[in-house]
Amino acid sequence: MNISKPITLVALITAFGISSFATNASQIYRFKDESGVTTMSKILPPHAAQNGYDILDDKSFRLIEQVDPALTPEQIIEEEKRLTAEKEAARLAKIAEEEQKEQQRQETIYNNNLLASYQSEEELLRAKATQITYLFSQLNKTEDLVTKNNEKLHQLQQQAAETEISGKSISTNFQMRLDAIEQELENEHAEIKRLKSEIKNRDAKFAVDLIRLRELLSSKQ
């Protein structure tokens, strides 16, 4: 009996102290002291604020919030790098999303235009034949002009050579004719190059259109 009374008294004093402590405190901090021992207090020491701590409910001692340790300068730099990388990734993801939406929009327009232009594969093939035939006719005409102008240039060059051999100088008007023929030939060669490229591109475009038109007509059926 004599042994149990002091123990009971101590327990009562301890319980009263905790109750009084919990009643008076608005919040309780739990942290490790400088020796590494877990401690609870109404006051948060500076070292605990740096090392991290828990905020407990003043009545139930339930964990309300867990505060992480303060970052070191190195960790702050790494955190800034991480946040910057996340922002950049989010920016790139937004751009990619917008590009995908625009691609889908353009594809919808392309599909609608294709169906509006051609009711069947045969219509598309006829349009291809018409356009490619026209481009080839323009190419043939331009090549004929190149042949004729080459002949004219050759004749003028011969005349210029004969004039120089005779000791006379070429007139300004004659030189202008030479320059004009050479400029025409330069333009015609550029046009031939453009027409050949156009024929190649149109042929490739019709091939892609034909494949897509087949898919669209098949899905409609």
Chain segment 87-129, per-residue pLDDT in tens: 999 999 999 999 999 999 999 999 999 999 999 999 999 999 9
The mean pLDDT value for 37-42 works out to: 91
Q: Summarize the chain as % helix, strand, coil (round to 5).
A: 75, 10, 15
Closest by Cα among 128, 127, 115, 122 to 215: 115
Beta-carbon neighbour count of residue 213 at 10 Å? 21
Beta-carbon neighbour count of residue 56 at 10 Å? 19
% of the chain exceeding 90 in pLDDT: 71
pLDDT (0 to 100) of residue 200: 97
The mean pLDDT value for 205-209 works out to: 97
Q: Is the pLDDT of residue 8 over 70?
A: no
Contact 198, 132 (CB under 8 A): no
To 10 degrees, what angle do helices 172-220 and 73-117 make?
90
d(CA 117, CA 131): 14
To 10 degrees, what angle do helices 172-220 and 121-165 make?
170
pLDDT (0 to 100) of residue 46: 87
Q: What is the overall mean pLDDT for the chain? A: 88
Please list the residues that pair with 134 across neighbouring strands: none
Chain segment 124-163, per-residue pLDDT in tens: 999 999 999 999 999 999 999 999 999 999 999 999 999 9
The CA R_g of the chain, rounded to the nearest whole Å, is 45
Closest by Cα among 78, 71, 27 to 49: 71
Q: Is the pLDDT of residue 206 over 70?
A: yes
